[in-house]
């Protein structure tokens, strides 16, 4: 990495502990090339990196913090598409036909961001073929994640969609312990409802049912999954390698 790049970033970004982060798709040298394109941005909780309908042209690498992706309908209803964490890359490139964002990116936890101009990344992709192939592999995985979410939301009703969401939360933010998988991310029932396109009251009833069955528990406002297999049965979760952990994420 050049001295100029390090000065621009303040310091070289380090690899994160996120096993699903984009840094895992590149060699150390390739990831450094990506870091050289980044310029630093501090984003406070409650702010937005961009709004739905604003021009695209930038990518956002999350060094720390969390970012929630929201999609709004014409009727004014909000859906939560994902909650990104350190190591994730937020990328919605121009495709030649559309040059505006199709969702909004809300900062929900103070974040340290590396911003990349899409035109700078294009030059890197042109110059380094192996880097381009690995970047394409990452984008293909992101498409698989999106496709699998739509499958779970559409095929097995709201209980299946909720079960799928809880499994994805466990894979992304879960900590396994002797008494179950504790989801570190604290979410309200309204936020869970926004993940699956239903009402808070419906989520309340479904969570109560899962708790009565011994599938989950709620401790200090956080969900603990007691039986992952029970959730998998509800949403007809395909077994690995058909749906690896890298795909089954929130």
Helix (H, G, I), strand (E, B) or coil at 205: helix
CA separation for the pair 181, 179 (Å, rounded): 7
CB proximity list for 202: less than 8 A, separation 6 or greater: 158, 193
For the chain, list the strands marked E by DSSP.
39-43, 48-50, 58-72, 78-84, 89-90, 104-117, 174-177, 180-183, 216-219, 222-225
Each domain of the chain, given as residue ranges in start order, spans: 22-127, 157-235
H or E, element range at 3: helix 3-9
CATH homologous superfamily for the domain 22-127: Jelly Rolls (2.60.120.10)
Q: What is the DSSP string of 37-104?
A: T-EEEEE-TT-EEE-TTSB--EEEEEEEEEEEEEEE-TTS-EEEEEEE-TT-EE-----SS--B-SSE
Q: What does the pLDDT read at residue 18? A: 75
CATH number at 157-235: 1.10.10.10
Q: What does the pLDDT read at residue 15? A: 53
CA separation for the pair 55, 139 (Å, rounded): 20
Query: Which of 187, 171, 174, 190 lies closest to 224 in space, CA to CA?
Result: 174
Mean pLDDT for back-to-back runs of 10 residues, the chain (250 residues): 41 56 90 95 96 92 95 82 93 71 94 95 94 92 86 85 93 90 92 92 95 93 93 81 73
- For residue 229, count CB atoms less than 10 angstroms from its CB and return exposed for 0-12, middle for 13-18, buried for 19 or more: exposed
């Amino acid at each position: 990495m050049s001295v100029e790049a390090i000065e621009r970033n303040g310091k070289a970004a380090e690899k994160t502990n996120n096993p699903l982060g984009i840094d895992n798709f590149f060699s150390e040298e390739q990831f450094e090339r990506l870091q050289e394109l980044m310029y630093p941005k501090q984003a406070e909780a409650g702010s937005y990196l961009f709004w739905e309908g604003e021009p695209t042209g930038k990518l956002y690498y999350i060094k720390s913090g969390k970012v929630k992706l929201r999609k709004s309908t014409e009727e004014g209803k909000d859906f939560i598409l994902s909650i990104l964490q350190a190591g994730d890359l937020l990328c919605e490139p121009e495709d030649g036909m559309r040059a505006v964002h199709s969702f909004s990116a809300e900062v929900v936890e103070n974040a340290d961001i590396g911003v990349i101009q899409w035109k700078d990344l294009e030059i890197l992709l042109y110059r380094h073929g192996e880097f381009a192939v690995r970047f394409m592999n990452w984008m293909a995985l992101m498409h698989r994640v999106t496709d699998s979410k739509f499958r779970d939301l559409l095929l097995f009703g709201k209980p299946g969609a909720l079960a799928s969401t809880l499994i994805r939360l466990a894979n992304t933010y879960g900590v396994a312990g002797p008494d179950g998988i504790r989801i570190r991310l604290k979410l309200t029932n309204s936020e869970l409802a926004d993940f699956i396109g239903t009402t808070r009251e419906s989520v309340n009833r479904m969570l109560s049912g899962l708790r009565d069955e011994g599938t989950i528990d709620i401790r200090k406002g956080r969900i603990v999954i007691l039986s992952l297999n029970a959730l998998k049965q509800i949403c007809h979760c395909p077994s690995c390698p058909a749906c690896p952990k890298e795909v089954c994420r929130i």
